[in-house]
Structure 1
């Protein structure tokens, strides 16, 4: 059985520290909170996303998904907005629920 947690419970903690914390508690999977004030956010460059993925992999963590606050539509004008697909592509099509 895979035991996973979300970084919602450790806001602002750098990914290497998240990895160490989860390893100590035998957690093998993580959902990353993606927000402007987090180490992982939708504005990361491709190289920063790659670095984040490598940090998770070196910690032995599987990325379950992304907890994001991306607005997909502005409402009245109906224009679509996105930022999650590059992360999902980089993370091997993980889940990215939007609330």
Structure 2
């Protein structure tokens, strides 16, 4: 089992990879809480997510809401097919700012 939080940069880019699920939710939540403190913008890259369930979706919704409350712009800059499938299924594409159905690899081509 792989945790969701992988890396971030000082510019506010947060990259998540592996599973974003109930198995990794607590650890990912703790890491995200620390990552978003004091950032000017939250650019979220989910292109490395191979599996996402409702707990992972709850984390995304929490992150977006928390950033909004702090006045921090939230942008979902890349996503995998696993993320797109869950978000589309629940009709949250616009709510999470998913402009297209393309993953990071397709966006850079």
Q: If the length of structure 1 is used for normalisation, what is the TM-score?
A: 0.48
Instruction: Return the structure number with greater strand share.
Output: 2
The structure whose Rg is larger is 1
Structure showing the higher helix proportion among its residues: 2
- Structure-2-length-normalised TM-score: 0.45
